[in-house]
Structure 1
């Protein structure tokens, strides 16, 4: 499940343009692999502060057993790492040193772990009245993804660095190997796997907490809700709703808060969702975050809440429910229901 997409920046220099393109390429492969996986949460371009320190993680994965941090590097030409862990790369036949992305992501991981452990009592639930294990004993990994056209000299590279360095197209294979996710039934009977796992509620709580900590996040507050961590409230089941299975490519071609006045919509007219920033009404991704369901615009990368006034009675006392890939607007006051995605 993708919790946050890559935030596009206005860049001018060739280096920053190439760096952003590399992050987009990695985000693309992560989306293709994990967008429908409930036990894998992906946060792209995650920036946070803790204890007077700030870190920016290019790609963060939270899964059943732990965390994987990914640093993206745009490297054209050759890249070498000596026995001391010092990096060099060639550009236009000229060699120059570069900072180690491995050391960079190590520091990011340490700060992230500190923040999560500091807030563990707010995030993790209790099982049978016993406090769950914190974050220190979970699986922690980090990788570096470099451009597909880079030439990696692995012969002279230390093995511990080579094992963490992957070209973009091979990244997902390594992630699946690291996570080693199994079916829940197999997990219960596999006594050899002693990794402590997060349950689904804990995964959701971790995801919501991290999104709430993101600096300059595009997630909007709904109905003036305070910017603070909330307990996850399960979506109430409504047996009277009819479910509809959306096409497999629906996430890439969905539709997202109204630009035209809601009063102009007839009661039987399909409510139209569109980005309230750029007006895009066809290219967006339905998502769920701290303040409920929203859409992320594929054009401007900003978010718009799915919640809107009732087209029939104009009441603002509405809510959005989800069944499979179908999103429905429900009016609490008049009982009006309408599929919006």
Structure 2
């Protein structure tokens, strides 16, 4: 299940454009593999702060047994890692050093662990009144996904790094091997699998908490952007202006009955035509991701990363006795009282 899509940034340099393209490629493969799996939660481009430190995780996966962090790197050319864990790559036949993405994702994981442990009493429930294990005993993994056209020199690369480095198209296979998800009945029968697991309620709670901690860089930039102040010129109060104002404020039925030549009025929408699904926090009505949680179907806004329930009052009779149904990729709002139905996605 995709909790957050990749946030597109305005980029200008070739390196930034290539980096964003690589993250989009990884997000695409993750979506294809896990969008319909409620036991695998995917958060792309997750930025958070804790204890005066800030981290940005390219791709975070929360699943039944733990967490996987993925760092995306756009590398076009050769990449090598020596025995000291130092990275170099070639570009236009020129070799240069580069920061280790493995060290980078290690630091991100450490901060994420600290934040989850600090808030565990808010996130995890108790099972039969017994305190849960928390986050330390869960499975924690991290990987690095590089461009599919990169040339990886694994002969001289330390094995512990080679085992964490994958080209984009092979990433999902490794993730499935790491997560090793099984049917619930098979889990109960397999006594050798001692991994503590999250139940679905806990998974949903973790996902909702993480989304609430996300820092939207686009909103930050908008809040700090300088406001351009324009000089507003007064408009002369002419007879033509007065006529236009009267036309705009007149009821629709009066305009329809009048034979006077006036600008054509915009037709009033019927209740069935009104858009009924939008983010209740920022008003976004197109850029969102449909999801399912313990409270039913909802949307996660791609602009502000907040959640909004799909279940709403009937736009026809205003009854709150409604329900949302899903058929493949189509979501429909159904009113139990008046029988009104409308596709909302």
Tell me the TM-score normalized by structure 1. Answer: 0.77
Query: Is the 2:291–2:298 contact (alpha carbons within 8 Å) kept by the matching residues of 1?
Result: yes
SS in 2 for 1:131: coil
SS in 1 for 2:203: helix
- 1:286 matched to 2:296? The reply is no
CA distance in 1, matches of 2:188, 2:21: 41
Query: Is the 2:45–2:56 contact (alpha carbons within 8 Å) kept by the matching residues of 1?
Result: yes
Query: Is the 1:321–1:329 contact (alpha carbons within 8 Å) kept by the matching residues of 2?
Result: yes
Root-mean-square deviation (CA), in Å? 3.2
Query: Is the 1:40–1:64 contact (alpha carbons within 8 Å) kept by the matching residues of 2?
Result: yes
TM-aligned CA distance change 1:197 to 1:278, over 3 Å: closer
- How big is each residue's C-alpha offset from its partner over 1:78-115, in whole Å with a ceiling of 9 and x where there is no partner? 00001100000000011111000000000000000000
TM-aligned CA distance change 1:206 to 1:263, over 3 Å: farther
Partner of 2:46: 46
Query: Is the 1:44–1:58 contact (alpha carbons within 8 Å) kept by the matching residues of 2?
Result: yes
CA distance in 2, matches of 1:321, 1:217: 32
In structure 1, the gaps of 5 or more residues are 220-260
- How big is each residue's C-alpha offset from its partner over 1:255-287, in whole Å with a ceiling of 9 and x where there is no partner? xxxxxx9972345x696757987875xx96423
CA distance in 2, matches of 1:213, 1:262: 42
Partner of 2:142: 142
Partner of 2:316: 312
CA distance in 2, matches of 1:218, 1:97: 31
* More helix, by proportion: 2
Partner of 2:55: 55
Query: Is the 1:7–1:301 contact (alpha carbons within 8 Å) kept by the matching residues of 2?
Result: no
SS in 1 for 2:102: helix
CA distance in 2, matches of 1:129, 1:86: 48
- 1:338 matched to 2:341? The reply is yes
- How big is each residue's C-alpha offset from its partner over 1:96-146, in whole Å with a ceiling of 9 and x where there is no partner? 110000000000000000000111111111111101110000000000000
In structure 2, the gaps of 5 or more residues are 220-265
Higher Rg of the two aligned structures:
2
Query: Is the 1:45–1:57 contact (alpha carbons within 8 Å) kept by the matching residues of 2?
Result: yes
TM-aligned CA distance change 1:324 to 1:112, over 3 Å: farther
TM-aligned CA distance change 1:284 to 1:47, over 3 Å: closer
Partner of 2:196: 196
CA distance in 1, matches of 2:283, 2:14: 28
- 1:321 matched to 2:342? The reply is no
- How big is each residue's C-alpha offset from its partner over 1:161-217, in whole Å with a ceiling of 9 and x where there is no partner? 000000000000000000011111000110000000001100010000000010128
